[in-house]
């Protein structure tokens, strides 16, 4: 590694904040796993066939809305870290990588907004 | 472990396999083919990826697949919770289809999501277990990888049978 790491010599490739994202990916994973278990439990312990009322009822409870909202945000971050890893590994031209990063962010923020809107309309 | 997570590219799948094997290095091992500058078309089909490597690359593929199919996932979520009418639209997509797209196609897409979720979930739990308990031996890597593949594919098969009305 060059001793000069500023100006035009500054190394700007790579994530450079590995540990924070490594940890965040695990923390968000655990939250999403817990959500999966909670949702499955509610589906399994619902008596009778599950129609619209039963299904929407699961998400109508305020605590479930808050939990689902937190999971959507966790998912957003989790997927961002994962997708950025994929682009960093396989896409070398910087311009293309930047374009893919921007696409990923727009895609994810858009999806998260849609999911939150659907959730809070309930 | 930090590096294990960070560096996921194919090269690492390959070198890892060699590092693991190198504990049993003999003259025999030295005659193995060397893989440098891996060519996706020429080298990948002939390389025997260990179970852990298969789980690893499938973890990545399943994550990417869910990223691409995310709008479908949210479409299902949106329609299934919004109203009675949209719920009917949601179920009809699988039974009758939407526009010119037949219902079985939606079932296949849903099945792809189901597999991706199950594999990503189980492989992720394996990662977290390894991180938390420092379970990084060669033996555990292999056995847990096999368990991951059996569980994810088995559960996918069970849910596929349910989805296509076999029981």
pLDDT tens-digit map of A68-84 = 999 999 999 999 999 99
CA atoms within 13 A on the CB side of B112: 18
| Angle at A40 (CA atoms; ends B101, B54), nearest 5 degrees | 70
Quick one: A15 exposed, middle or buried, by C-beta within 10 A (0-12, 13-18, 19+)? middle
Residue A85 to residue B77, Cβ atoms within 8 A: no
* Chain A residues with CB-CB distance to B82 below 8 A: 56, 118, 121-122
Same structural domain for residues B54 and B25? Answer: no
Q: Using alpha carbons, select from B140, B73, B124 the residue that is nearest to residue A72.
A: B73
Please state, for a pLDDT cut of 90, what percent of chain A lies above it: 75
Domain count, chain B: 2
Return the structure tokens found at B38.
């891996």
* Chain B residues with CB-CB distance to A37 below 8 A: none
Residue in the structure block whose two tokens are 């003999």: B26
* Chain B residues with CB-CB distance to A87 below 8 A: none
User: In the prediction, which pLDDT does B28 show?
Assistant: 59
Same structural domain for residues B95 and B19? Answer: no
Q: What are the CA-CA distances from residue B72 to residues A47, B55, B76 (Å)?
A: 28, 25, 6
Same structural domain for residues B96 and B149? Answer: yes
Same structural domain for residues B165 and B145? Answer: yes
Task: State the first-to-last Cα distance of chain B, in angstroms, to the nearest integer.
Answer: 43
**CA dist., res. A60 & res. A57, Å (int):** 5
Same structural domain for residues B68 and B33? Answer: no
Contact A69, A119 (CB under 8 A): yes
Using a CB–CB cutoff of 8 Å, tell me whether A103 touches chain B.
no
Residue A62 has pLDDT above 80, yes or no: yes
Using a CB–CB cutoff of 8 Å, tell me whether B77 touches chain A.
yes
Contact B122, B100 (CB under 8 A): no
Same structural domain for residues B80 and B43? Answer: no
Same structural domain for residues B77 and B134? Answer: yes
CATH architecture of residue range(s) A18-121 = Up-down Bundle (1.20)
Its pTM stands at: 0.80
- What range defines the domain where residue B65 resides? 50-167
Same structural domain for residues B17 and B81? Answer: no
Q: Which of A19, A85, A118 sits opposite B82 (nearest CB)?
A: A118
Same structural domain for residues B31 and B64? Answer: no
Residue B70 to residue A111, Cβ atoms within 8 A: yes
The nearest CA of chain B is from the CA of A3 a distance in Å of 23
Same structural domain for residues B34 and B88? Answer: no
Choice among A47-51, A67-71, B31-35, B88-92 with the minimum mean pLDDT: B31-35
ipTM of the shown complex: 0.84
- Who wins on pLDDT, B12 or B37? B37
Using a CB–CB cutoff of 8 Å, tell me whether A120 touches chain B.
no
The nearest CA of chain B is from the CA of A56 a distance in Å of 5
User: In the prediction, which pLDDT does A60 show?
Assistant: 94
CATH number for the domain including B154? 1.20.1300.10
Same structural domain for residues B55 and B78? Answer: yes
Using a CB–CB cutoff of 8 Å, tell me whether B135 touches chain A.
no
| Angle at A62 (CA atoms; ends A56, A64), nearest 5 degrees | 65
Same structural domain for residues B25 and B105? Answer: no
Structural domain ending residue among the three candidates B48, B63, B83: B48
Q: Which of B6, B60, B121 sits opposite A36 (nearest CB)?
A: B121
Q: Using alpha carbons, select from A74, A79, A72 the residue that is nearest to residue A120.
A: A72
């Amino acid at each position: 590694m060059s001793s000069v790491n500023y100006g035009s010599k500054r190394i700007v490739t790579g994530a450079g904040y590995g540990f924070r994202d490594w940890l965040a990916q695990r923390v968000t994973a655990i939250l999403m796993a817990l959500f999966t278990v909670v949702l499955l439990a509610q589906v399994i312990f619902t008596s009778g066939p599950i129609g619209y009322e039963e299904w929407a009822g699961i998400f109508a409870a305020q605590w479930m809305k808050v939990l689902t909202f937190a999971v959507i945000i966790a998912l957003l971050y989790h997927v961002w870290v994962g997708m950025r890893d994929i682009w960093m590994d396989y896409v070398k031209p910087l311009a293309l990588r930047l374009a893919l990063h921007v696409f990923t962010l727009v895609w994810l923020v858009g999806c998260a907004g849609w999911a939150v809107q659907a959730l809070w309309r309930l | 472990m930090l590096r294990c997570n960070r560096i996921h590219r194919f090269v690492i799948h390959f070198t890892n396999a060699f590092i693991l094997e190198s504990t049993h290095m003999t003259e025999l091992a030295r005659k193995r083919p060397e893989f440098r500058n891996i060519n996706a078309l020429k080298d990948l089909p002939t390389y025997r990826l260990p179970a852990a490597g298969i789980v690893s690359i499938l973890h990545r593929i399943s994550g990417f697949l869910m990223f691409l199919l995310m709008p479908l996932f949210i479409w299902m979520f949106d329609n299934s919770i919004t109203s009675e009418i949209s719920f009917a639209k949601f179920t009809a997509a699988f039974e009758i289809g939407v526009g010119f797209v037949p219902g079985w196609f939606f079932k296949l897409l849903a099945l792809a999501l189901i597999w991706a979720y199950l594999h990503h979930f189980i492989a992720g739990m394996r990662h977290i277990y390894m991180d938390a308990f420092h379970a990084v031996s060669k033996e555990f890597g292999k056995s847990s990888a096999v368990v991951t593949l059996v569980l994810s594919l088995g559960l996918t098969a069970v849910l596929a049978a349910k989805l296509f009305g076999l029981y």
